[in-house]
Structure 1
Amino acid sequence: MTVPAISFEFFPPQNLEGAFRLWDTVQVLTPLDPRFVSVTYGAGGTTRDLTRDAVATIHKNSGLRVAAHLTCVNATRDETLKIAQDFAKAGVTDIVALRGDPPKGEGAFTQYPGGFAHSVELIEALAGTGSFNIRVGAYPDIHPEAGSAQADIDWLKRKLDAGASEALTQFFFEADTFFRFRDACEKAGIDGSVITPGILPIENWKGARNFARRCGTSIPKWVEDAFEKATRDGREDLLATAICTELCSDLIDGGVDKLHFYTLNRPELTRDVCHALGVTPKAELRNVA
């Protein structure tokens, strides 16, 4: 089996305990030699400063290539581009450009006065600077706000044409979901090799199920049934490792050579799955406080 290139997503800490968890996660996963790691941006821009600080610290102390999430929410164009420029000055030139979720309590995204109307505008502005490698989101299951699967694909093509180099997908439960999406993208003129599957190792089934329902990810009945039984039997972690490893193996067998893991700052399951896929430690982490 081909050993995949891997990358990881982290989220910024909001308290001291969260900071320790993030650094533990970085320490556990850095030896696996990811091609990059990303740091998320909270709904409504709520973690803007925390994201900036986490990105700068990981970049400075770990030697990892760090991609900062950047959204269109609650900021003017100038403010958003200033944030991007600050990242570049700190040596961070990878951006995951997203429209972003609306602030908590608001039902739909509304363009901020003087802000970007959508992700394509943000991507065009970032690409225009010539300073960034830009990644974007993609949705194998229909985005809750999209009119159809084809609308999702057409929007992804616009984002790539605007200057993005790679698309990271929302998580999914079955490899065929990704393959159908990739085939449809290729039919629409998108190079399938730029689409990287997003993988969610299921640390907590209840939380993962609720997240899937919110973001429109289809949950197969067999997954529901398996986790219900495993939870009763106290074998949830074992099942999660097996399901995630099998999903990744099926993707690799289908020609996928890159995987992006949503770690939720809980590294053990991600590490175990990577080991099962033949991703072995390359180096020890240094200089992390």
Structure 2
Amino acid sequence: MTFDNVPGRSTLGPDQPPPNVSATPSVVRSLRTHSGRAVPFSVEFNPPRDAAGEARLWRAVRQFERMHPAFVSMTYGAGGSTADRTVRITGELAEETTLLPVAHLTAVGHSLAELRSLMGGYADCGIRNILVLRGDPPGDPLGEWHKHPEGVEYAEELVRIVRDLGDFHVGVASFPQGHHRSPDLESDTRFLVSKLRAGAEYSITQMFFDVDHYLRLRDRVAACDPVEALKPIIPELMPITSLRTVARAEELSGRSLPESVLARLRRAAGDGPEEDRAAVRETGIEIATEMGERLIAEGAPCLHFITLNFAKATGEVLANLGYGVTAAPISA
């Protein structure tokens, strides 16, 4: 898969930096310039598959825009399967809204030339904030990972490449329960710290449903490197709205939900032939709200929500947490 011939797409050579996009604020700066009764929040979107999905995405975008999130991120399909759509829509978010977009960039399936081309496309759109990920194999996110013969092996390498290409701000992923490919939590923590030392300015966690896992991650990073631990570790949440989304949550996280959470959702679903969707949804909103309350009390720098391109459930959690009148960014 190449991107060299996509209309409007730049191809960066190894010695050709992208256009200067320094007028765009960084994620870390945006976190610092948002104020209100609670910590900032942010949301994650997915590239839609068709015109109907794109219309739904934009409805959600406009609803969240009125709530002034600190930033919004646009995911990137496994193996780069949505690369073109990701670049286009992330650029539209930058050009047509007041939101601060963060583009995902994954190493899996891409050569260095393709990665530079993608970065050129982002730069052309004025995108300055990049979330660097190693990425999941296409087809089976938990399957064996294979390095592209002309690509990179680790996210740390990609962090350095993006930072060297130009005026970009970089975030990375972190894993409260450890990445499923890491041999143990200590190794996983060292991998995260290495990414931060390479130039990442913050991390966004994998989705989780036990706040203690997040707090232990912060403690492990602080013990490993107190300086790098000062960088924001942003917790990622997803409101559960049906038992089907339980399966989706486990697929996205690669982890089973805690039994205490599953028990609450199963009780809400009832014993009938079909689940009580309204009760499951209400319980899922309650769980996400409880997690948000504790994370705020524990000093989380931001709450990042997986939305699946819907605004209602996340909006209800935010309203429960007092975000209905979240302040707009302070002018700098």
Distance 1:221 1:283 in 2: 37
1:230 is the counterpart of 2:234:
no
Q: Tell whether the 8 Å contact from 1:4 to 1:257 is kept in structure 2 after alignment.
A: yes
Q: Tell whether the 8 Å contact from 2:111 to 2:149 is kept in structure 1 after alignment.
A: yes
Distance 2:183 2:252 in 1: 16
Counterpart among 258, 262, 279 of residue 323 in structure 2:
279
Provide closer, same or farther for how the CA distance between residues 282 and 175 of structure 1 changes in structure 2, counting only shifts above 3 A: closer
Question: What SS does the corresponding residue of 2:205 show, helix, strand or coil?
Answer: strand
If the length of structure 2 is used for normalisation, what is the TM-score? 0.81
The runs of 5 or more residues in structure 1 that have no matched partner are: 285-289
Q: Tell whether the 8 Å contact from 1:102 to 1:108 is kept in structure 2 after alignment.
A: yes
Distance 2:85 2:172 in 1: 21
* 1:77-123, Cα deviation, whole Å (9 max, x unpaired): 02101211221121111101001111225831111121122211110
Q: Which amino acid aligns with 2:99?
A: L
Distance 2:184 2:308 in 1: 29
Q: Tell whether the 8 Å contact from 2:103 to 2:127 is kept in structure 1 after alignment.
A: yes
* 1:215-238, Cα deviation, whole Å (9 max, x unpaired): 333422111111011122440111
Structure 1 match to 2:214? 178
The runs of 5 or more residues in structure 2 that have no matched partner are: 1-35, 271-275
Structure 2 match to 1:198? 236
Give, in angstroms, the shift of residue 209 of structure 1: 3.5
Give, in angstroms, the shift of residue 243 of structure 1: 0.8
Counterpart among 114, 119, 124 of residue 79 in structure 1:
114
Give, in angstroms, the shift of residue 214 of structure 1: 6.2
Larger displacement relative to structure 2 (19-28 or 209-218): 209-218
Give, in angstroms, the shift of residue 206 of structure 1: 2.8
Distance 1:203 1:27 in 2: 21
Structure 2 match to 1:287? none
1:102 is the counterpart of 2:146:
no
Q: Percent identity over the alignment? A: 32
Structure 1 match to 2:104? 69
Structure 1 match to 2:20? none
Q: Tell whether the 8 Å contact from 1:185 to 1:192 is kept in structure 2 after alignment.
A: no
Distance 1:95 1:64 in 2: 15
1:5 is the counterpart of 2:40:
yes
Counterpart among 127, 144, 169 of residue 180 in structure 2:
144
Structure 2 match to 1:221? 259
Distance 1:28 1:56 in 2: 19
Give the structure with the higher percent helix: 1
Structure 2 match to 1:246? 290
Calculate the aligned-residue CA RMSD, in Å. 1.9
Distance 1:213 1:90 in 2: 32
Counterpart among 122, 126, 133 of residue 162 in structure 2:
126
Larger displacement relative to structure 2 (61-70 or 98-107): 98-107
Q: Tell whether the 8 Å contact from 2:232 to 2:301 is kept in structure 1 after alignment.
A: no
Q: Tell whether the 8 Å contact from 1:12 to 1:40 is kept in structure 2 after alignment.
A: yes
Q: Which amino acid aligns with 2:68?
A: D
Give, in angstroms, the shift of residue 21 of structure 1: 1.1
